[in-house]
Amino acid sequence: MNRDLLVRTLRTPDAITRFSMGEWDTLIRQARAAGLLARLAHHFRRHDLERAVPASVRWHLAAARTLADKQRTAVRWELQQIQAALAGLALPLVALKGAAYVAADSPAADGRLFNDIDILVPRERLAEVENALMLAGWHGTHLTDYDKRYYRRWMHELPPMQHVQRQTVIDVHHALLPDTARYHPDSAKLFSRAVAVADMPGIAVLAPEDRILHSATHLFHDGELPHGLRDLTDIDLLLREADAPDFWPRLLARAEELQLRRSLFYALRYLDRFLDTPVPDSVHAALRDAAPGQLTLALMDAVFARALAPDHTSCEDAFTPAARLAAYVRAHWLRMPMHLLIPHLFHKAFVSPYLENQSPRAA
Amino acid sequence: MKLLQLSPGDLRRQLAGPGVWLRTGPFSLRVRSDIPSVGEGLAHLYGQFEVRSAHEAFADFHVSVDASAGLRRWFRPQARFSFDGLQPFKPLPRDQAFPMLEWGLNWCVSTQAHQYLIIHAAVVEKNGLAAILPAPPGSGKSTLAAALVLSGWRLLSDELTLIDRATGLIQPLPRPVSLKNQSIDVIRNFDSEAYINRASHDTIKGTVAHMRPPRDSVLRQHEPAQPRWVIFPKWEAGASTRLTPRSQAQTFMFLAQNAFNYSHLGADGFRVGTALIDQCSCFDFRYSDLDEAIAAFEHLSQTADESA
C-alpha cells in the first residue's frame, strides 16, 4: 500500500534509490496534488539524491522548481509593491506565512508555491490600508454579500483583494485568529517582537517563534486543509532552521503567552509522526498538559492522519471524506461560538450553493 | 505495440478500466474514458502511436474524459475532463468528448512542461529545419500546417511549439491536427486521402475535427529539429502569395507574448527566446491558394542556406 508514500519519502528520502517505477508514478502524483513537487526537488537536492531520480521522472521536479523559483522572485517584487502602496501610512507592515519565509530567505521558502500573499497590519489602520491598496490597484474579489458581511463582522482579515492587472491576491490580516475564536493572540504582542527584513526596507516578519506558532495555529484552525501537508512541511523546515540555544524554551514560553499551546502540541505531535522532525523529549513532556483528553486525541489522530494527507485518490481510504468533514467542522467550531456557527454552516450548506446556481443566469 | 494493434473491444475495455498507456512525443499518458467516442477518436487518429500495458508503471499525465454522473448521464449528457482528479474545465456536451481530450492534453503540457519554452504555434520540418507558424486563431495556421504535412513536410506540432531549454532544438509533439469550420472541407478537397475524423459541432471554436498525423511524423516523434524560420501566415480571399521579411525584434516580442510559459521561465525565457530568434529568418506570409503556398514553402526550404 502506498497511501503514505509521499510522507514516507519526505521522512526517509534515501528510500527512493529502491523505488519501482510504479512508486515513482504514485509519488509524483501525490506530490503534485499536495503542491509539494518543487519542495520534493529541494529535498532530494539537500540529501544529494538528485541522481537517484530516474531520467523520465526528472522533468516533473525540474519544471516545478522553475515555477517555484519564479514565484519566489514574484513574491519579493509584489511585497515591495505592497510596501510602496502603504509607504505613506507609516505603519508596521508584517509579511506572514509564505511571503515571510521568502522575505526572511528561510529554507521554508524553498520550493514553496503560493496562492496569495498574507500581510498583518494594526487593526485600527485597516480602513486606511484598504483604501491605499485600492488606490494602487487591488480591489475586493467577487464574493457574495453574505461572505463580505461575514468577513467584516467576524473575521481577522479583509476579504481577499486582487490586483487588477497582475491578478495577484493579498490577504490583509489584523490578527492571527478571528475575534470569535476561543483563543485570540494579542496582535500588539506580535508587532512588538517583529523583525525588520534587512534588504527589504519597510517590511518586517514575525519573530522566529511567532512564525512557527502562527503556522501551527493556522494549520489546526483552518477548515479545508487543502495545503495541510505543505503547511506541515513549512513548520518542519522552520523548526530545523531554528538553532538558537534557548530556542525551545522561548518557543514554549511564547506559546503560553499567546495562548497557543494546544496548537503547538498538535503541530509537534503530527510533525513527529509524519515527518520525524527532531523535537526534544523535554518539549513534548512540557506540552503534555496542553493535550486534549484521551478520547478526543484518538479521534484527532484518526482525523488528521487523513485530513493532512495529499488530496489524491491514492491517499484515500473509506474514512477520508468523513475525516475531511470533521476537520472542517472542528475548525469552524474553534473559530466561532455555537450560536454563530450553526447559522453559518447552514448558510454555507444550503444557501450558498443555491446562490451559486443562480448566478450564471443573473450574470 | 501500436494502438492500431489493439482490437476495438480491448481498447474500449482498457479505456473504461485501468486506462491505456500511450506515448505522444516526449510525454507518456494514461488515458481513461467511459465514453465510446473517445475510444473511437483514439482508434482513428492515434493508430501509429505506441501503447503499452495499462500496468505500465509511470505516466507523465493521468487524464480521463468521463460521462457526468446522475441525471446528466441521460439528460443533455456531458463529458468531464480530469487531470489526475483535477478538473480544469467546465463539463462540455458529450458530443465534444474527443476534442475535449485533445484540449485537455494541450492544457496539461502547457501548464506543466516548463523544461520547454512553449509557444502557441504550429511547427513543421523539412531537411532537419523547422518553420514555426505562430498566428492568432482564424489566420489559417492549422490549415496551412495540415496542407504542408500532407505535402512532404514533417508535422512537429499543430498547437504547441516546444523549444527545449537545454538544446534550443524543437521537440516534436505530433498529435492530431485540429481543423475548424471551413478548414475541414478545404483540407478534404486539398487531399482526398487525408483522414479527418467525425466533426463535433457547436463547440466554443465552432465545428471541430481532427486530422490524423502522417505515419512518418509519428515514427520520427523523438527526432528534434533545428528552428530556421518564423512565419506568420494569413489567409486572405484573393490575395496573391507573398512572403515579406519582418523584424526579428518584433517577432521576438510576439512570441514572448504568445508563449504559454515565457513569464514563468524568468531570465531563461529571454535567453531561450532570443537564441531562437537569432537562428531564424522571420516573415509575414499572405496567401489565398494552398498549392501556391506549398510551392512558396518548398522554395524557401530549397534556398535555406542562401537566405541564412
B264-278 pLDDT, tens digit each: 998 999 999 999 999
A144 near A355, Cβ under 8 Å?
A: yes
B147 plus B295 within the same structural domain: yes
Query: What pLDDT, on the 0 to 100 scale, is given for residue A133?
Result: 94
Q: Is the pLDDT of residue A167 over 70?
A: yes
> If you write DSSP's letter for every residue of chain B in order, what string do you get?
-BGGGS-HHHHHHHHHTT-EEEEETTEEEEEEES-HHHHHHHHHH-TTSBEE-TT-S--SEEEEEEE--GGGGTSS-EEEEEETTB--S--EEGGGHHHHHHHHHHHHHHHH-TTEEEEEEEEEEETTEEEEEE--TTSSHHHHHHHHHTTTPEEEESSEEEEETTT-PEEP---PEEEETHHHHHHHHH-TTS-B-PPEEEETTEEEEEEPPPHHHHHTTT--BEEEEEEEEEE-TTPPPEEEE--HHHHHHHHHHTBSSTGGGTHHHHHHHHHHHHT-EEEEEEES-HHHHHHHHHHHHHTTTTT-
* Structural domain for B259, as ranges: 116-302
Query: What pLDDT, on the 0 to 100 scale, is given for residue A302?
Result: 86
B31 plus B89 within the same structural domain: yes
Residue A166 pLDDT grade (very low, low, confident, very high; cuts 50, 70, 90): confident
Q: What is the DSSP letter of A224?
A: S
In a domain, B98, yes or no: yes
Question: What mean pLDDT value characterizes chain A?
Answer: 87
Query: Which chain B residues have a beta carbon less than 8 Å from that of A311?
Result: 85
User: What percent of chain A shows pLDDT beyond 90?
Assistant: 61
A115 near A160, Cβ under 8 Å?
A: no
Q: What are phi and psi of A185, to 5 degrees?
A: -60, 140
Q: Is the pLDDT of residue A362 over 50?
A: no
Q: What is d(CA A81, CA A68) in angstroms, rounded to the nearest whole number?
A: 20
In a domain, B245, yes or no: yes
B105 plus B162 within the same structural domain: no
B192 plus B43 within the same structural domain: no
Residue A338 pLDDT grade (very low, low, confident, very high; cuts 50, 70, 90): low
In angstroms, the first-to-last Cα distance of chain B is 41
B229 plus B105 within the same structural domain: no
In a domain, B169, yes or no: yes
B287 plus B212 within the same structural domain: yes
Residues 62-121 of B with CB under 8 A from A: 62, 84-86, 112-115
Query: What pLDDT, on the 0 to 100 scale, is given for residue A341?
Result: 65
Residue A329 pLDDT grade (very low, low, confident, very high; cuts 50, 70, 90): confident
Task: Specify the DSSP element, H or E, that contains A96.
Answer: strand A94-96
Domains by residue range for chain A, with CATH: 5-362 (3.30.460.40)
- Of B73, B97, B112, the one marking the end of a domain is B112
Residue B24 pLDDT grade (very low, low, confident, very high; cuts 50, 70, 90): very high
Q: What are phi and psi of A232, to 5 degrees?
A: -65, -40
B131 plus B95 within the same structural domain: no
Residue A2 pLDDT grade (very low, low, confident, very high; cuts 50, 70, 90): confident
Q: What is d(CA B276, CA B273) in angstroms, rounded to the nearest whole number?
A: 5
Query: Which chain A residues have a beta carbon less than 8 Å from that of B59?
Result: 25
Query: Which chain A residues have a beta carbon less than 8 Å from that of B112?
Result: 60, 63
- Of B80, B112, B144, the one marking the end of a domain is B112
Q: Which of A305-309, B3-7, B61-65, B168-172 has the lowest mean pLDDT?
A: A305-309
Q: Is the pLDDT of residue A42 over 70?
A: yes
Q: What is the pLDDT of residues B252-308, one digit of tens each?
A: 999 999 999 999 998 999 999 999 999 999 999 999 999 999 999 999 999 886 544
B185 plus B240 within the same structural domain: yes
Q: What angle do CA A258, A262, A263 make, to 5 degrees?
A: 80
B247 plus B172 within the same structural domain: yes
Query: What pLDDT, on the 0 to 100 scale, is given for residue B106?
Result: 96
Cell 517582537 appears where? Answer: A193
Residue B136 pLDDT grade (very low, low, confident, very high; cuts 50, 70, 90): confident
Which residues on adjacent β-strands are paired with residue A170? Answer: A117, A161
Measure CB to CB from residue B265 to each of A25, A60, A66 and give the nearest one.
Answer: A66
Tell me which residue of B201, B207, B208, B212 sits closest to B177, measured CA to CA.
B212
Q: What is d(CA A62, CA A80) in angstroms, rounded to the nearest whole number?
A: 28
B128 plus B251 within the same structural domain: yes
Q: Does A309 touch chain B (CB under 8 A)?
A: no
State how many domains chain B has.
2
Query: What pLDDT, on the 0 to 100 scale, is given for residue B307?
Result: 47
Q: Is the pLDDT of residue A342 over 80?
A: no
Q: What is the DSSP letter of A16?
A: G
Q: Which residue of B has its CA nearest to A30?
A: B84
In a domain, B253, yes or no: yes
pTM (2 d.p.): 0.90
Choose the mutation target among A19, A25, A313 for the interface with B, i.e. most B CBs under 10 Å: A25
Query: What pLDDT, on the 0 to 100 scale, is given for residue A353?
Result: 62
Average pLDDT score over residue span A123-128: 91
B103 plus B122 within the same structural domain: no
Could you give the 3-state DSSP secondary structure of residue A140?
A: strand
Average pLDDT score over residue span A24-30: 96
Q: What is the pLDDT of residues B183-225, one digit of tens each?
A: 999 999 999 999 999 998 888 888 999 999 999 999 999 999 9
Residue B73 pLDDT grade (very low, low, confident, very high; cuts 50, 70, 90): low
Q: Does A311 touch chain B (CB under 8 A)?
A: yes
B189 plus B82 within the same structural domain: no
Amino acid (one-letter) located at A281: D
- Of B60, B94, B112, the one marking the end of a domain is B112
Is A29's CB within 8 Å of B84's CB? Answer: yes
